[in-house]
Amino acid sequence: MYPLSSLHVNSYLVKYLEGNSFMSTPLSFLFETQEELKKVVWPKRQEVIRLTGVVIGVSLIVGAFIGGLDFVFTKLLSLLIK
């Protein structure tokens, strides 16, 4: 049988099968985090700007809607109390 280190398998699987902890040391955690971040496909600048605008726009619309409901319910409550 071949040793696990010679097989082309996921490093997490090798550590698990050999009985080691997934995050044996903080240093290995940082190394593995850095390796995973290299795989990330980061958005382009224009996409970030566009999506930020969408979030701000939706937030303003929802805020205005909730503010409007608050105003209406405040006026209705003041009419009921009088």
Residue-level pLDDT at 28 = 84
Nearest to 20 by CA among 35, 2, 32: 32
Q: How far apart, in whole angstroms, are the C-alpha atoms of residue 6 and residue 23?
A: 21
Task: Give 14-32 pLDDT, tens digit per residue.
Answer: 565 555 555 568 888 889 8
Asked whether residue 80 falls in the same domain as residue 46, the answer is: yes
pLDDT over 50 at 3, yes or no: yes
Task: Give 40-74 pLDDT, tens digit per residue.
Answer: 999 999 999 999 999 999 999 999 999 999 999 99
Contact assessment for residue 12 and residue 22, using Cβ atoms and an 8 Å cutoff: yes
For residue 6, what are its two tokens? Answer: 């010679």
Asked whether residue 77 falls in the same domain as residue 52, the answer is: yes
Asked whether residue 48 falls in the same domain as residue 81, the answer is: yes
Higher per-residue pLDDT: 2 or 80: 80
Q: What is the pTM of this model?
A: 0.56
Place of tokens 């698990």: 16
Q: Which domain holds residue 57?
A: 42-82
**Amino acid present at 2:** Y
Residue-level pLDDT at 2 = 47
**Amino acid present at 15:** K
Asked whether residue 63 falls in the same domain as residue 48, the answer is: yes
